[in-house]
Amino acid sequence: MITVVGIGADGWAGLSPASREAVESAEVLIGGSRQLDLIPDVPAERITWPSPLMPALPGLMEAHAARAVCVLASGDPMFFGVGSTLVRLLGPERLRVLPHLSSLSLACARLGWPVEQVEVVSLLGRPLAAVSAAVSPGRRVLVLSADGDGPAQVAALLTARGYGASGMTVLSDLGAKAESRQDGVASRWPHPASPALNVIGVECAADPGARPLALVPGLPDEAFEHDGQLTKREVRAVSLSRLAPLPGELLWDVGAGAGSIAIEWMRTHPSCTAVAVEGRADRGERVRRNAETLGVPGLRVVDGSAPAALAGLPAPDAVFIGGGVTVPGVVEACWTALRPGGRLVANAVTLESESVVGQWYGRLGGDLVRLSVQRASPVGGFTGWRAMLPVTVWSVVKEVPVQEDAVEGDSP
């Protein structure tokens, strides 16, 4: 059994009796140098986390499996902490977790914000652009900063995204005697640096003229950088409704173009992931830029053409084929890889792609819809309707195999 003890900036004095006992009785004490420095002299052998951590973690735990191990974590070990990592590695039955107050709880207590009404973004080992997806007018966001430069970087990002009017409060060394606070507005952030251990509170306010982006499918086409290879707004909304993203699911966006489907899939929930497969390198770079701008920098972009580029990718819960449906083997590879219960959606614009989609519809069934969209545009001094190319949307769900009931006389 490994005991994971959360410790705050208040150090030993802030630990509960149970946490102190776990530290004092340990044979091995593992943690970051900052956490270890907060512990007074105890008999345990002290080990600082190796770097990089993840490759070394299994061997480290195995090497001390026969000893009483106590792992030190900052605050609540299960809140963006090493506790979650150890659960994935060892299983919950091998861990005993003794949490301290999290930085979220402490920050909300200082700011007077109800915890359940706060969006949380961690920049610990994550790109700054992840903040963008959490920002919307009137929302309160807590950003777990990675270092003392984080607040100034967040202020610059908010300003660039049209949220320079947002109020910011930086709370540093929460719970310690050296706890401090910095306040300001993003566009006029007056503090070039902050203490390294800080949490940033943001009260989001859009600048005049800014266009906030909704989380529901169908962002404006102009929200994406593209070269014309873009699933248009109305068709995108319908396609995503058929893909039906659920928290924690993985999408393949095959023939990604500008990456709009994959990006909007990931924006529906922070736990949604996606792989964008694009055969042209310039478009792949454009997908990466769009993902960063729209707050989902974790989008994985695979440079290569399907079906070859699909080999080795994790099995998807949903697949969107926006380009390449006529390429031999693409639909077969996607359908084979798709998890049971998963959804496949393919869009066709040309007669050739419609023919392929029609054949697959005949084999697998599903739903076939033809969309015709017209947008108003100037005609001389008047306004008329300009038709977009019709798009055929084929969607199908892969059935979950039915387990046959045990026949009479079989063992239970």
- Give yes or no for residue 240 having a pLDDT over 80: yes
Span 189-201, average pLDDT: 95
What the block records as the tokens of 187 is 């566009």
Fold of 104-203: 3.30.950
Span 48-53, average pLDDT: 92
- Cut 0.75: pTM above it: yes
Q: Which amino acid is at 243?
A: L
How confident is the model at residue 323, as a pLDDT? 86
Fold of 2-101: Cobalt-precorrin-4 Transmethylase; domain 1 (3.40.1010)
How confident is the model at residue 404, as a pLDDT? 62
List the domain boundaries for the chain.
Answer: 2-101, 104-203, 221-397
Fold of 221-397: Rossmann fold (3.40.50)
Same fold? 104-203, 221-397: no
Span 107-118, average pLDDT: 97
State the angle between helix axes of 330-337 and 351-364 in degrees (0 to 180), rounded to the nearest 10.
Answer: 40
What is the pLDDT of the chain when averaged over all its residues? 94
Q: What is the pLDDT of residues 251-298, one digit of tens each?
A: 999 999 999 999 999 999 999 999 999 999 999 999 999 999 999 999
Of the candidates 67, 7, 389, 3, the residue with the CA atom closest to the CA atom of residue 228:
389
Indicate the pLDDT class of residue 400, thresholds 50, 70 and 90: confident
How confident is the model at residue 406, as a pLDDT? 47
CB 239 within 8 A of CB 231: yes
Q: How far apart are CA 100 and CA 190, in angstroms?
A: 32
Of the candidates 63, 59, 73, 69, the residue with the CA atom closest to the CA atom of residue 27:
69
Handedness of CA 239, 244, 246, 251 (dihedral sign): negative
- Give yes or no for residue 106 having a pLDDT over 90: yes
Chain CA centroid to CA 348, Å: 30
